Structure 1
Amino acid sequence: MCSVRGAQVFFLYILVLYSYKPNRHKISTGPLLYSIMKRVNSPESPRSPPPAHSTVSTHSYQSAASTPTESSSNRSYLRLNKSTGQSPSPSPSSQSVQRSTSRSPATPTSSDTVKRSFFRFNSTPLSGGSNSTYSNSFFNPNLTMGQTGSNVKRSQSDIQTFLDKEKEKFIEKIENPIKQNGRLEDFDLIRTIGTGSFGRVLLVTHRNSTHEKIALKILDKQVVVKMKQVDHTLAEKKILQALSCPFIVKLLYTFKDSSYLYLGLEYAPGGEMFTHLRAFGRYTEDMTRFYAAQIVLAFEYLHHLGVIYRDLKPENLLFASDGYLKMTDFGFAKRVKDRTWTLCGTPEYLAPEIILSRGYNKGVDYWALGVLMYEMSAGYPPFFADQPIQIYEKIVSGRVRFPNHFTVDLKDLLKNLLQVDLTRRYGNLKPGVRDIKEHRWFRDMDFIAIYEKSIPAPFIPRTDRENYEIYEEQPLTVSSTERYPREFADF
């Protein structure tokens, strides 16, 4: 008994050692077998959410007496696997998103350290007043879902036929991936819009006649190898180039040189949901439904192809100019036939089966959908704590408390998504995603109209201003000798 107990403590220690950072973050390790100790099932009730107008520290939700800090997250295009380790200095709260005018990605300033924790600026959704960043000309709080004029009901067989054809196209592209179709010299570099452990993302324009804007993701080969992310990087490129979904960023260009790997991604000028959700405080239920429907369709598409995403969160959802979403960062995406065991993702969004190392499949994405829907509707996630291990314990316990403003239908759907028992979790049962799409919370939702983007978006981001953080620029130093030719031969 003592040896078993000692093993449990040891594995918990290893998990925390791998995953602890001051802010909400990603973790990525190899398979890790461990058990959550008995305190997971203790009768202690889950921690209450912050009261109205409360704030949090950089270590997730803590004291309600602290002052909101200026922060932003720039991990949508580029995965960050290391936090800065610095705590932000407090500053007065603001309804609008504050941004720094200059920041070196290597040494972020204390006022805008990249964070994963949400900062709840207000207790009610922003209504778009005249002095608000989100004016009434861009935000329609009276949107009613289903107002499209053509609520065409497609049979399930039609949808299945469509998805089967998409799978054929996907397999063809996977088996015949695109070759290098660009060079760094083909682009004019504008500025950095994201940084991370592996490199940076630059906003660039192509020197062709269209001068299209591209988000150029630049990965340092040496760092990718050092962080043991070669397989994830190759999988990201291979999967992205084969996808075709209106709610997923397109991979337009791919190439490499002696030092770097380059992914030219579709540019989403509206910025991250993370930034806008902080400014709103929380979304109305109709807004949550509008965005959740797009994620449901994206997951229905991916899962039919045999791909699981494993990294859903507001930072990885970008706004296009039309107000619809673009899912990005496929570094953790994987083709799975049965189950996989890799421990990866963001702590607050990890499904119980990932934490318990039981093997998992597409069900983890639907768990994450439940977390995202909760976070959009409440302004904070359903599972939060000061330390990652406390978050894991709450997730495995499965106890969820809902704010009073959640409707009965929303709570019912979330209970079925945030279901620890995989045999009862919506999306993972025999009907598949239909359990979600046909739930009464989506009663008036026309998913075909969402797919065709014929429903007006409830919020149109302003594109006449920068929606991404400002960084101090750093030169790209390309080695004269080829680095890691064997590791990246298939890129």
Structure 2
Amino acid sequence: MEEPGYHKYFHPIYPPNLEDWIEFMEEDGEERRRGDISSESSSESGSFPGERFSRCVLIQSISEDVSNSVESGLEDNIKSFEDNMKAVKDNLKTEQTCGTDNNDNNDYITDKYSCDNQQYSNSDSPAPVIKCADNPSWLDTLRLDQLSWVGTLGIGGFGRVELVTAGENNNMAFALKKMKKNEITDEKQQQHILNEKKIMSSCSNPFIVKLYRTFRDSRYLYMLMEPCLGGELWTILRNKKRFDDESSRFYTACVIKAFDYLHDKGIVYRDLKPENLLLDSSGYIKLTDFGFSKRLEPGEKSWTFCGTPEYVAPEIITNKSHDNRADIWSVGILMYELLNGVPPFSKKNSSSDQVYSDILQGMKSVNFPSYMSATAVELIRQLCRLSPSQRPSLSVTRRYMWFAGMDWEGLENRTLTPPYLPTIAGVKDTSNFDNYQEETQQPEENFADWDIDF
């Protein structure tokens, strides 16, 4: 069985052996992040062979009955939090799911936009590059056996993401997410994957990775997506150590545009971090990995406990109900990490329990280095207020001084020059991603029909 891992299109929502994974992550008493180890040095560092680890993601379903019992303020919930953490650890032996979203009836009318493929020129062929949005019928009739494998972009809990090409002279690139059916056995896991597909299918926005179509057979579920060959924002941040205000402002603004779109549709994202932000060929950011997303009806709240420890909002930790204002909190955490290279609440020298305790104390215990501008500090403090009702909306966030001079119209029209322009030689260029070996062993067949609507 493949060891659990993490990558940009995959979230380890249901790793094959979550208990062993968390035990491994806590052996050294510190978090293993992307860049700390590599496939070449993994054997020396004690990691799983060929894998890279990002922030440990704690996932657990919390019942509504337990959640409703928490009525006191955030500052008074430390003991409740500690009790809940004990329950989480106990339940990890039997629960490996982030909760099931059963009410996502996303019958949206989506607008069309040209995908990232139109930016590429294929040096191997003089044929013109195909524009995705101009060829819907061509994509609708595409078969799996018409896809040509190029390389692996990432490995996740249920499978991997492959770079594939198709079209005339294979001049069109896709990211093909493959999930092993024989490992998706829990009913909640199955519903969760169906829900992710529904949400991604409903989205058509230049700041969100596009899902074109899905396939299924007796071995895999497949999601054919926009490739975004510029790689992860996390990789750029790792190499540059930290971004200046101008760069951080551009990337944060891209996220706000994505969240504007999602929140208008009633979708809460709940997993913002640099690892889930991909660069397209123009250097613009696209949001990916919708494993924790959920659609909420107007006035509806969610009780699901999920996310990445360093980014999770305090109301989620204390089992209070939450809505899209949990995403507002994560925008502030992202700002801090982009400007400093590390998040304000880190597992580096502490356990997940301590990280959650620190989050419940809010920004009052966070160190803001002197190189951070006063306007950045002010906005981060406002976005990360303990009380969700006191956090500014996305529209108000735009009007803070840190965003003064930001050309939002230029961002939407993609006329702004991005801080970093990735080098992409063509549709077969995987140089902005880590190296992975080709999968040689096929999973066992599984003829269950739960995925008939996938």
TM-score by length of 2: 0.71
Distance 1:229 1:213, change over 3 A: same
- Whether 2:192 is the aligned partner of 1:232: answer yes
SS of equivalent residue, structure 1 residue 349: coil
Alignment deviations for residues 235-263 of structure 1 (CA, whole Å, 9 cap, x no partner): 11111112111111111231100121100
2:406 aligned partner: 445
| 1:258–1:478 Cα contact (<8 Å) kept | no
- In the alignment, which of 251, 258, 262 is matched to residue 298 of structure 1? 258
Counterparts of 2:37 and 2:177, CA distance in 1:
25
Of 418, 432, 456, the match for 2:417: 456
Distance of 1:454 and 1:363 partners within structure 2: 30
Partner of 1:121: none
Partner of 1:406: 372
Matches within 5 A, 1:36-185: 74-81=6-13, 82=15, 83=21, 85=24, 100=39, 113-116=52-55, 169-170=109-110, 182-185=142-145
1:324 Cα deviation from its structure 2 partner: 0.6
Shift of 1:467: 1.2
Q: Taking structure 1 as reference, are residues 168 and 77 closer, same or farther at Cα in structure 2, changes over 3 Å only?
A: closer
**8 Å contact from structure 1 (residues 375, 382) kept in 2:** yes
1:135-175 CA-partner distances (Å, limit 9, x unpaired): xxxxxxxxxxxxxxxxxxxxxxxxxxxxxxx995149xxxx
C-alpha displacement at 1:415, in angstroms? Answer: 0.7
Contact 1:103–1:471 under 8 Å retained in 2: no
Cα contact 2:6–2:52 (8 A) shared by 1: no
Aligned to 2:439: 474
Separation in 2 of the partners of 1:314 and 1:97? 15
Are 1:355 and 2:309 counterparts? no
Matched, 1:311 2:271: yes
Tell me, in whole angstroms, the C-alpha distance in 1 between the residues paired with 2:187 and 2:368.
Answer: 38
Total equivalences in the alignment:
352
Residues 297 and 463 of structure 1: CA distance in aligned 2, closer, same or farther (over 3 Å): same
Counterpart pick for 1:391 among 355, 371, 389: 355
Q: For 2:323 and 2:442, how far apart are their aligned partners in 1?
A: 40
SS, match of residue 252 in structure 2: helix
Q: Which amino acid aligns with 1:436?
A: T
Cα distance in structure 1, aligned partners of 2:160 and 2:51: 17
Provide the rounded CA distance (Å) in 1 between the counterparts of 2:437 and 2:11: 19
Where 1:229 maps in the other structure, the secondary structure is: helix
Pair 478,110 (structure 1): closer, same or farther in 2 beyond 3 Å: closer
Give, in angstroms, the shift of residue 458 of structure 1. 1.3
CA distance in 2, matches of 1:181, 1:261: 17
Cα distance in 1, alignment partners of residues 268 and 331 from structure 2: 13
Residue 384 of structure 1, CA deviation: 1.4
Take 2:155 and 2:241, find their aligned partners in 1: how far apart are those partners?
Answer: 26
Q: Which of 212, 219, 226 is the equivalent residue of 1:259?
A: 219
1:420 counterpart letter in structure 2 = L
Contact 1:339 1:359 in 2 (8 A): yes
Matching of residue 320 in structure 1 with residue 280 in structure 2:
yes
Q: Deviations over 1:50-100 (max 9, x none)?
A: xxxxxxxxxxxxxxxxxxxxxxx85111112454837999xxxxxx99964
The answer on whether the counterparts of 2:268 and 2:323 sit within 8 Å (CA) in structure 1 is yes
Quote the Cα distance in structure 1 between the aligned partners of 2:212 and 2:244: 34
Aligned match of 1:56: none
- Match in the other structure for 1:132: none
Which residue does the alignment assign to 1:33?
A: none
Is the Cα contact below 8 Å between 2:37 and 2:52 reproduced in 1? no
Offset at 1:115? 3.0
1:490 and 2:430 are equivalent in the alignment: no
Checking the alignment, whether the CA contact within 8 Å between 2:38 and 2:52 is kept in structure 1 is: no
In proportion to residue count, which structure has more helix?
2
Counterpart of 1:17 in structure 2 is none
- Alpha carbons of structure 1 residues 110 and 224: separation in structure 2 relative to 1, 3 Å: closer
SS in structure 2 at match of 1:192: strand
Measure, in 1, the Cα distance between the counterparts of 2:228 and 2:42: 22
Distance 1:180 1:484 in 2: 25
Paired residue for 1:211?
Answer: 171
Counterpart amino acid of residue 321 in structure 1: S
Corresponding residue SS for 2:177: strand
Residue in structure 2 matched with residue 59 of structure 1 by the alignment? none
Which residue number corresponds to residue 118 of structure 2?
none
Whether the 8 Å contact between 2:26 and 2:351 is mirrored in structure 1 is no
Q: Is the 8 A contact 2:248 2:338 kept in 1?
A: yes
CA contact (8 A) 1:101 1:470 kept: no
Please report how far the alpha carbon of residue 101 of structure 1 lies from its aligned counterpart in structure 2 after TM superposition: 6.3
DSSP-derived class of the 2:355 partner: helix
Q: Is the 8 A contact 1:88 1:111 kept in 2?
A: no
Q: CA deviation at 1:417?
A: 0.4
Match of 1:316, as an amino acid? N
Cα contact 1:221–1:261 (8 A) shared by 2: yes
Q: Which residue number in structure 1 is paired with residue 381 of structure 2? A: 415
> Equivalent residue of 1:348, what SS?
coil
Could you tell me how far apart the structure 1 residues matched to 2:47 and 2:437 are?
10
Secondary structure, counterpart of 2:109 in structure 1: helix
Match of 1:378 in 2: 340
User: Which secondary structure state, in structure 2, belongs to the residue aligned with residue 289 of structure 1?
Assistant: helix
Instruction: Give, as a single letter, the amino acid of the residue that structure 2 aligns with 1:440.
Output: M
- Give the match for residue 291 of structure 2: 331
CA distance in 2, matches of 1:115, 1:249: 20
Structure-1 separation of matches of 2:219 and 2:140: 15
SS at match of 1:435: helix
Q: Which amino acid aligns with 1:379?
A: G
Instruction: Give the superposition deviation at 1:109.
Output: 5.4
Residue-by-residue CA offset, 1:19-71 (whole Å, 9 max, x unaligned)? xxxxxx9xxxxxxxxxxxxxxxxxxxxxxxxxxxxxxxxxxxxxxxxxxxxxx
Give the partner amino acid of 2:376: L
Which TM-score applies when normalising by structure 1?
0.66
Alignment-mate amino acid for residue 434 of structure 2: E
- 1:40 match: none
Question: 1:377, CA displacement in angstroms?
Answer: 0.3
Structure 1 stretch displaced more, 203-212 or 369-378:
203-212
Contact 2:182/2:444 (<8 A) preserved: no
Q: Using the TM superposition, give the Cα deviation of residue 228 of structure 1 relative to its aligned residue in structure 2, in angstroms.
A: 3.7
Counterpart amino acid of 2:276?
A: N
